[in-house]
Amino acid sequence: MTPTRTFRADRGDVRTRRLDLALVRHLNDLPDVSRARVQAWIEAGQVRVNGVAASRPAARVGLDDSVEVALPPPKPQPPGPAAEERALSILYEDEHLLAVDKPAGIIVHPTRGHPEGTLLNALLWRAREWVGEGERPSLVSRLDRETSGLLLVAKTQAVHGGLARTLRGPNARKEYLAVVYGRTPAAKGRVELKILCDPEDRTRRITSKDEGQASVTLWERLAEADGPLTLLRCRLMTGRTHQIRVHLESQGLPIVGDPVYGEPRWKGIADADRAAACRDFPRQALHAWHLAFVHPVTRQPLEIFAPPPADLQGLLDATGLAGGAA
C-alpha cells in the first residue's frame, strides 16, 4: 500500500503561493525531500489538491485547500556490516569500553571496496553478548590500514560520547612510536603546522603555515642509530588524517616504509643489514603505542600500552634502535 500524507494549506502556504514550496515545508520531517523531488512527484501525478491531480509545481495553494501526497516507497537501505568470527587482541576491557591492538594491514571500518574482514566486523561478533537493542560497538579513534597499535572501542553510544570528549581534552595522552630516516636537531620538539588536502591528490595531505586545520605533534627522541635512523615517541595534540606522517615528513624525518610520505633513504645506509631491514619493511613504521586518560564512567585514570608487533620489533632489532622502546 502506497503511504500518503494529507494536510490543509494555511496562511503560510498562501504567502508562498507555490504548491511545491508548500509541500517542502510540510514534508520537512522526511529525508531527502528537496524542491526538485517534490516537483517530480507533482509532474508524475502523485499530488492531489482537493481530490484533483495537480499538474504544475507553481500552482497556487488556497487557504484550507486539502493537499494529498502519494509518497514513494523508501529506498531500501543497504545491510549494515556483518559480524565475523575473527581473532582480536584485547589489551583492556570492562563493561563500558575495550582497547584492541590492531595489526597492520587491517582496515578499521568497512568500505565499498572492503565490506568484510575489517576490525569492526570482528568487534560486532565479539559484541553479540553485551550490546543492547539498537546498540553496537563503535571505534572512538582510527588508524590507517598499515599503522598498527592501540584503538579504543566504546560499548554504547553514551560511552562513545564521553570517551571522545575525554580524548580531545588536554590531559589525555596519545603516543606513537615511529622509526624515521635522519637525525633530530634536539632531544625534543614540536611541529605546529596546519594540514590540508593536497589539491593534486585528495588522498594525500600537505602542511601549511596559513591554510588548513590547526595541528600539533610533539616528538621525543628515544634512540639513534647509524644510517642515520631515529626512533621517536610522538604525542598527538590534535587528531588529523595522516598527521604524524605528514608532520614528520615536513621536518625532513620521513617514516621508514611510508609509501606516501616516505623516501628510499635506505639506499644511503652503509650497513648492508640495516639497509635491507629498512628496504624490506612492508609498511610505514608507525605504531600506536600508549594511551592515558580518565575513564569517562568510573573517573579513574587508565593507562594502556600496546607492545611493538613482531615486524616493528624486528626492524628495531635490526637497526639497533630496540633499546629505545624498552
By annotation, the residues acting in catalysis are 144
Handedness of CA 102, 105, 111, 114 (dihedral sign): negative
Side chain identity, residue 80? G
CA-based nearest residue to 141, from 109, 111, 171, 118: 109
- Mind giving me the DSSP string for 208-258? ESSSSB--EEEEEEEEEETTTEEEEEEEESS--TTHHHHHHHHTT-PBTT-
Omega before 185 within 30 of 0, i.e. cis: no
CA-based nearest residue to 81, from 124, 131, 113: 124
- Mind giving me the DSSP string for 113-130? S--SS-HHHHHHHHGGGT
Q: Which three cell numbers stand for residue 218?
A: 610533539
The CA distance from 155 to 100, in Å, is 13
